[in-house]
Amino acid sequence: MAKTRALGADAQLLAAFETVYGTAVDGSGGGVYSKMSFKSYSIGAEKPLGTDPDLGQGRDAQDPFFEAVTVDGDLGVGLDLQASGFWLKALLGAPDTTDNLDGTFTHVFTSGGDDIPSLTLELGHPKLTVPKFERATGIKLGEWQIDLARTGPARSTFTAIGQGVAAPVAAADAAPLVFDLTRFNNSRGSIEVDAVQLANVTGGSLSFSNGLDPVETIRADGKIDGVDEGEATASGSVDLRFSTDTTVTDAIDAETPVALQYGWTIPGASGFHLTIDLPRVFFPQVKNPVTGPGGISATYNWQAAKDSVAGHMMQVTLKNDVAAY
């Protein structure tokens, strides 16, 4: 039944990789865009008002002026067995994919690459009496944030910068591709240091950034020319309960880096998993304050750097049943 008011439950998100930056992908033939599951979406265009009053016009306010348009926002998604590969390609570039010859495929995404693709994203409300759509072009993913916990589904948030937004009258693709939904859960998550499971972990986070730098040239349409990738960085935190385990404190005392891995698995013989490897991570020395009768814990805010032997700062491995992205 058609509706007159939009609901988040009815919204759909279509996504496709652009061939030319800022040019909307043509999905009129069907099967070009992918229909993505998402938790939240705030990517859109803003054109703020500015003021610059001239004197001699009295006390009442004069007309404001319109600033240049900005296109940015956040995208919240679950860590998913199939769809995560799509977002990782948008964040890090195309993966190296290996066919395991058993119906499974291993995709390896590496930070620091130069070929980061742009996206066309379309948020639609197709169940309205008059369907409404908002299509953003020239979208590049800048940051990736993951918060770890003991329970619940694994989630992540991307920040994005784009070039333009349009309001088409129909969906970009009437028959989009669909990923099967299989979520990674925090109960199957792990954090390893030098290939050994880290003990007494109560929480943590990971943040990766492409260091996006919008090219803000002067144009009649007020749009940016593009988005350049700057320095890639990775940082995060690990919350540890104070105990006799010295895995982290030994590295701190020696002022030496360690290999850090965040990972999630899905039960089954296929060995499906998502792992984030950071081969060179530095932990700072922190206090262990006593604030009450309960357990003593500390938060270690680590920083990652490129490892000259591995040849990268961060590598993400996704094993699933998708042949290619």
Angle, CA 75 vertex, CA 74 and CA 76 arms, to 5°:
120
Single out the residue of 23, 171, 16, 139 nearest to residue 75, CA to CA: 139
Does 59 fall in a domain? no
Does 256 fall in a domain? yes
Contact criterion met (CB below 8 Å) for 186 and 154: yes
Contact criterion met (CB below 8 Å) for 163 and 214: no
For residue 15 the two structure tokens come to 């996504």
3-state secondary structure of 86: helix
Does 116 fall in a domain? yes
Percent of the chain with pLDDT over 90: 67
Does 301 fall in a domain? yes
What confidence score (pLDDT) does residue 220 get?
A: 82
Does 325 fall in a domain? no
What are the φ and ψ backbone dihedral angles of 297, each rounded to 5 degrees?
-135, 165
pLDDT beyond 60 at 26: yes
Enclosing domain of residue 108: 8-54+64-320
pLDDT: which is higher, 145 or 114: 145
Does 309 fall in a domain? yes
Contact criterion met (CB below 8 Å) for 245 and 267: no
Question: Average pLDDT over the chain, rounded to whole?
Answer: 90
Does 221 fall in a domain? yes
Domains: count for the chain: 1
| Listed range (102-116, 147-161, 247-261) with the worst mean pLDDT | 247-261
Does 2 fall in a domain? no
- Across 8-19, average pLDDT: 92
Confidence category of residue 294, pLDDT binned at 50, 70, 90:
very low
What confidence score (pLDDT) does residue 76 get?
A: 97
